[in-house]
Chain A
Amino acid sequence: MRKLILLIAAPILLSATQAKAQNFEEMLEKNFLAFDTTQNQQQKLEYSNKLALIAKKWPDEWTGHYYNAYSKVNLSYFEPDEAKKDAYLDEAEREYEEMMGLLKKENDETHVLAAMIANARVAVKPQQRWQKYGKIFDENLSKAKELNPDNPRIYYLIGVNKYHTPKMFGGGKKAAMPYLEKAQTLFAKEDGEDIAKPHWGKKANEYFLNLAKGGEED
């Protein structure tokens, strides 16, 4: 009888303690996937707040800071208040610095993240900032390309940037297409298993590709 009880109790007890000793990777994956999937802004905010807590709890994991930074950049686009937009990006930059402090050396994904932050800065005040931050955006993506030319996120970011650039400055739907298409082929090759190998962007790329294809009146 005792043995039976212990047998029943043990796994329950084990799972209970297991639930307490939360696994960093699990929490990160769960919350990031939730953040990236939901379209509800309030929910996005909640998951982003969770990602911030995760990054704070495991400060020595670079991926925690990476995904928190990513989520803050994402939130900055939907925030209407300019000062708050910049405040989100300030936090993204702080997380970026923490990440670089751990990694010591840049890699293609850190360059992609830096380019993302620069792009979001331009979005806050396009007229005043496109010169300074546009340059940072270009520089980071070309460095990323040098390190890993098969990173789909490089072409996704260039494509989205070109999509939003007015036609007379060399942008527009037609100009964006080749980049989004190249990103699409490269996204297909990614497996998206390892949280330590960022794989975001596939769905967003599809979304922009559809926009670029449709309503092609020029």
Chain B
Amino acid sequence: MERLFTLLLLIISTTAFGQTTVTGKITDEKGKPVVGASVSLENTLDGGTTDSAGVFRFTTSEKGDQLLVATAVGYANAWSPVVVGDETITKNLTIKNTARSLEEVTITAGAFEASNEKDKTVLKPLDIVTTAGTQADVVKAIETLPGTQKQGTENGLFVRGGDASEAALIVDGLVVQNAFFSGPPGVATRSRFGAFQYKGVSFSSGGYSARYGQALSSVLELNSLDLPEKDNINLGVNMAGIYASGSKLWKNSGGDVTAYYNNLSPFYGLVKANIDYYDVPKGFGGSGRYAWQPNKDGMVKLTLAGSKFTSGVQVPDSVNNPVRYDLTNDNYTASISYRQTLRNKWMTYVAAAYNYNGDDATYNGIPSTRKDERTQLRAEAKYYMTSRVSLLAGTELQRYDVTSSFSNYQSSFVEAQYAGYVEGEWTPVYWLALKPGVRYEYSELLNRNSISPRMALAIKAGRGAQVSLASGLFYQNPDYNYLYLVDKYSMGFDYQRAIHYIANYQLQRNDRTLRVEGYYKDYNSLVKENGNTPYNPNRSIEGQLIEGKITTIDNSGHGYATGAELFWRDKKTVKNADYWISYSYIDTRRLYKNYTELATPEFISDHNLNIVAKYWIDKIETQINATYSYATGRPYYDAMSKQFLGGRAPEYHNLSFTINHLRAIGKWFTVIYAGVDNVTNHKNIFGYRYDQNNNRTPIVPALYRSLFVGINMSLTQFEKDEL
């Protein structure tokens, strides 16, 4: 009886109260304790969580062979078999940190992304609009990034030693034929891009993808919005004019319509301009966009846009007499694109566009016109073989004809370009990404082929850090001025060529970005005018040909560009503040066009510094932005100097402020903005122009200090019965 009782008690005590303690420490591969890891016996509820020392402790009534498993967020699971008896078990485990692979490795050499979609972006469309000194012009905002040159008197994006022709501006994979508004010579006009029409901007200062060609230096790529977010009406008034836009969203499609009228009278009326606008630039335009989502992974976009602008300005001629230059510009674009992803394995993209640009000008009454007409098509497909490998293949067709006339004198050319490209993206291991590509291009006008191999790679170099390298061959047609001569004078030209070598180090951590980049570009086969004539900046090429001053024009020009750039952006250190510093150094010389010696071109400043700062004051819902730009003096042709392009213009300084205030006026979300460009009224001089009597006049921007004020109101349809 008593034995039974004892036996029962024994059974009870061992089964009901037989708990074994399991304890131990969890560390990562570096030996650091892991806090908050869950350690348990597999398929049971017996387990514990590691404390700040990485130590866990729990009791279990399980017995026998068990599997101890440790899991923690950001780490791979680890298992260890244990045999549970009566004795306390001590088991230490090491778990591997997988958080590193949560960061993608992306090619950064020569590339700046600005979009809302990718995490590793450097600039967002909203950053562009709020940057002081840019007047919300996308291209001017890009000029605060490394590798670019400030422009006050010429249109275009000047990147790493290249002139305006060397930068291609692309929207949705299609070339933008006339990215800048037409203007009189010597006046830089703004680009036609409105920052909010795009979901992303990508700037490549070199080594760009095989998808693009015809640009020796860089590509600025913009991607238009897809479906509008909600029904929306947007109205704005500023010193350049008024605009209105509306967008509507249906079930699977949406559209928006924009109309604007610009008149720069208020802008030029406030301050004395350096140029004499007797007919201030004015014009109107509009665009319509329709986007349709036929299925979850497809998008069709259709865009139509048109504008008409006029202006009249007095400019000096080669003997410094004033000339009246009247200009009327008509610009139309129609484009359609279709993107479709199939089963996450294939992505196809087709896009086509038609552009027309007509400049009708009179030069002291003499008609001077230029018409550009272009049709283009791009078709490509991307195959995602695995999550690590993808292959892109595509083709591009460009057909454009350009006609230019002065009085009765006409010049024109027709060009058709065919290109095919293949590019692969391969991530063999999580820390290495490779992007090899090759592009083939044929030009009907030059009757030449080109094959450009391209290669870019990125290597992870620690948490948030990577090293990226890029290299490739880049080809570009000679300038239009030379292409006019092909048919008329039976001249043959070859492609102009550049080879890039780029190396970059980027560190992104805690909302701070550091980028250091170095490059070397070798230019070859540049178009060069040969003859025994002294340098004449005001020459007409055809005039000099006819007079025998130019004997031949060939591809014997060459040059180089090398430099180093630093970019630092900090969104963290100061609360509600965001600033970036961009410094570029360049050493470049070339012998091309009508240059008589290898020299640094007039559009180059050796040192460029941009400091951009933005500060948000929460209490008054206002943001203050400031930009300071500095550039060393540019070379200019000094008729008095023995050295070719030996003059050095003074340094460039520009301090600009803008302020934007947000408020809700009734149901309208309103932004009120005001800005002063060149606050100190610094008289920037880009160079000097010599007339035929060797008198010189400074080349200056249209305005020194200028003021810009505006208001934007947006009304969004809120759902009526949210409650």
Contacts and interface: CB of A to CB of B under 8 A. Distances in A.
A9 B5 CA distance: 9
Contact of B45 (A15, A16, A46, A54): A54
A22 interface: yes
Interface string B228-240: 0100000000000
A51 B518 CA distance: 52
A52 B48 CA distance: 12
Contacts of A13: 11-12, 15-16
A15 B12 CA distance: 10
Contacts of A46: 48-49
Contacts of A52: 38, 71
Contacts of B117: 128
A37 interface: no
Contacts of A125: 119
Contacts of B40: 49, 53
Interface stretch (A81-89, A192-200, A205-213): A81-89
Interface in A172-218: 178-179, 182
A100 interface: no
B662 interface: yes
B342 interface: no
Q: Of A9, A19, A125, which is in contact with the most chain B CB atoms at under 10 Å from its CB?
A: A9
B16 A45 contact: no
Contacts of A182: 723
A88 B662 CA distance: 35
Contacts of B103: 83
Interface residues of B, number: 40
Interface in A62-86: 79, 81, 83-84, 86
Contact of B73 (A57, A88, A167): A88
Interface in B103-149: 103, 116-117, 119, 121, 124
A27 B45 contact: yes
B718 interface: yes
Given A16-B12, A83-B102, A178 B723 contact: yes
Nearest to B99: A83
B4 interface: yes
B36 interface: yes
A5 B45 CA distance: 32
Contacts of A94: none
A42 B52 CA distance: 9
A87 B73 contact: yes
A91 B116 CA distance: 25
A115 B621 CA distance: 29
Contact of A170 (B5, B38, B718): B718
A164 to B, nearest CB: 14
A22 B60 CA distance: 13
Give the interface residue-count category, chain A. 35 or more
A118 B415 CA distance: 51
Interface string A14-54: 01110110100001000000000000001001100110111
B99 A49 contact: no
Interface in A114-138: 125, 127-128, 131
B664 A5 contact: no
Interface string B33-66: 0001010100111011101100000000100000
Contact of A179 (B38, B47, B723): B723
A168 B662 contact: yes
A12 B73 contact: no
B365 interface: no
A48 B653 CA distance: 58
A156 B16 CA distance: 45
A84 B61 CA distance: 33
Contacts of B192: none
Contact of B44 (A45, A53, A158): A53
A13 B9 CA distance: 10
Interface in B74-106: 74, 99, 102-103
Best-buried of B16, B44, B45, B119 by chain A (most CB within 10 Å): B45
Given A13-B12, A168-B669, A5 B99 contact: no
B1 interface: yes
Contacts of A91: 73
B49 A12 contact: no
A42 B51 CA distance: 8
B547 interface: no
A142 to B, nearest CB: 8
A145 to B, nearest CB: 9
B377 to A, nearest CB: 31
B271 interface: no
A22 B723 contact: no
Contacts of A50: 45, 47
Contacts of A83: 74, 99, 102-103
A87 B74 contact: yes
B49 A87 contact: no
A125 to B, nearest CB: 7
A182 B47 CA distance: 41
A81 B74 contact: yes
B177 to A, nearest CB: 31
B116 A167 contact: no
B99 A87 contact: yes
A89 to B, nearest CB: 10
A86 B74 CA distance: 9
B387 to A, nearest CB: 16
A127 B124 contact: yes
B43 A57 contact: yes
Contacts of B663: 168
Contacts of A27: 45
A22 B99 contact: no
Contacts of A166: 621
A94 B594 CA distance: 67
B509 to A, nearest CB: 11
Interface of A: 1-2, 5, 9, 12-13, 15-17, 19-20, 22, 27, 42, 45-46, 49-50, 52-54, 56-57, 79, 81, 83-84, 86-88, 91, 125, 127-128, 131, 155, 158, 166-170, 178-179, 182
23 contacts: A13-B11, A17-B15, A22-B45, A42-B51, A46-B48, A49-B49, A53-B40, A53-B45, A54-B45, A79-B73, A81-B99, A83-B74, A83-B102, A84-B73, A84-B74, A86-B102, A87-B102, A128-B117, A128-B119, A158-B722, A168-B662, A168-B669, A178-B723
Given A5-B5, A168-B621, 15 more contacts: A9-B12, A15-B16, A22-B45, A46-B49, A49-B38, A81-B74, A83-B103, A87-B73, A87-B74, A127-B124, A158-B722, A167-B621, A168-B663, A168-B664, A182-B723
Q: What are the 6 closest A-B residue pairs judged by CB atoms, nearest first?
A: A16-B16, A49-B38, A46-B49, A83-B102, A168-B662, A87-B73
